Amino acid sequence: MKALTFSNLKKDLDALGEKLRLAAGQMETDRALALSSLEDELLYVISYIGIPPQFIPFRGWDYEACSYQDNIDMLEYLSRFDASALMSLPGASLSARAVIALGTPQQQAFFFSRFTTPPCWAFFAVTEPEVGSDTQSVASSLTRCDDGYLLTAHKKFIGGAQLASVGLVFARDGDTQRLVMVDPKRYAQHISITPLEQFGLQGSNLTEISISDMPVQPADILGYERKGLNQGLHALGQVFERHRPMVSAMALGTTYGLLSALDGHPLDDEQQRWVTQQWRTYHLLRRQLAEIAEHYQNGASQYYTTSQLKRRCTLFAESVAHRMPHLLNGQAWLENPQLRRRCRDAFAFEYMEGTANIHLMNSFRCHTARGGVCAHVS
């Protein structure tokens, strides 16, 4: 069995990246063709990171050897080729962390057993049309009935739901927030999943989900017997704490790819100085990402620093993408649809794992965490 580490995979990542690049070009016109282009066992091996090893069918790899830092390094490197295609790969997405944290052995088996036959997707439904991801204001609800509960929900901007075999839905049960396991095929008559038009990151496959009076048993609710902070809100925080650095990694990888695309293009002195400064910024943010990943791995992550980094990486990707058309001559820009698409994708990281305003509020917590001394947040 081979250790699943970044160093062991690095020699294969360039070839995998080219597959991502090819699939990204197909994604906007023929999603089925794009997904078939990504039918690669090693890509699936990487996308299944986070699923409990006993439910992973790729027996030649030691997932226990894969650190959080390894996972971050893989995501950043592959995003240099195309983050959108990377997001279209199968896997448990954000759901895995919540199911592991709150699920009983039976619930974990229900949720993860379907991943033993790849490819398999999952979704994580929190955001609503009227309140966004404000968990205190969600309208989706569980209503008690003679046989358990009925779930009614309206969610928007949910990735991967069209292909998903299972998912989690965040809903209210009176004054308590709950995470409900949902099998969309079993209750297809109660669930409507509609794809949304997207301008960037087509691979995320965003959808709108409507659920009407879907039967729910207590066994379908994660942490049903637990009280207080061991409910949905706590699990939600754990999910975002793990995934925000991953978004930062994809934004940085995308920016690396954009800056690398300038190699060989004639630039004047002022433009060259600007590019040099962007590479310095990239390496600074990359080092901060490595530090945050190490802290998370050691159980010492800090919520506000994760938010600060996500916001900074997102703004960095946007600033570089905004400048790209002005650094290339008109012909070079028009003849490179892949570069134009990746510039467009750079502006879509904003909505992933919390928008800028959410991260500004999270970052403000460092006033308290540092005794009133707040790190600079731009």
- For residue range 149-171, what is the model confidence (pLDDT) as tens digits? 999 999 999 999 999 999 999 99
State residue 373 phi and psi, 5-degree precision: -100, 115
For the stretch 23-76, pLDDT in tens is 999 998 899 999 999 999 999 999 999 999 999 999 999 999 999 999 999 999
Where are the alpha helices (H) located in the chain, listed in sequence order? Answer: 6-27, 31-37, 41-47, 68-79, 83-87, 95-102, 105-112, 232-260, 269-297, 303-327, 330-334, 337-346, 356-363, 366-369
Where are the alpha helices (H) located in 157-231, listed in sequence order? Answer: none
State residue 28 phi and psi, 5-degree precision: -80, -15
For 122, the token pair is 């999952």
Average pLDDT, the chain: 90
For 195, the token pair is 């794809």
* Residue bearing tokens 């062991």: 8
pLDDT tier for residue 306 given thresholds of 50, 70 and 90: confident
Q: What is the mean pLDDT of residues 349-374?
A: 65
User: End-to-end CA distance of the chain, in Å?
Assistant: 46
Cβ count near 57 (within 10 Å): 13
Q: Give the integer Cα–Cα distance in Å for 126 and 142.
A: 14
Our measurement of the distance from residue 215's CA atom to the centroid of its chain's CA atoms, rounded to an integer in Å, reads 29
State residue 362 phi and psi, 5-degree precision: -65, -40
- Write down the pLDDT at residue 230: 45
Q: What is the mean pLDDT of residues 292-318?
A: 88
- Write down the pLDDT at residue 366: 60
**Domains of the chain by start residue, with CATH:** 2-89 (no CATH), 121-220 (2.40.110.10), 231-369 (1.20.140.10)
For 320, the token pair is 């570089």
pLDDT tier for residue 233 given thresholds of 50, 70 and 90: low
Our measurement of the distance from residue 250's CA atom to the centroid of its chain's CA atoms, rounded to an integer in Å, reads 9
- Write down the pLDDT at residue 24: 95
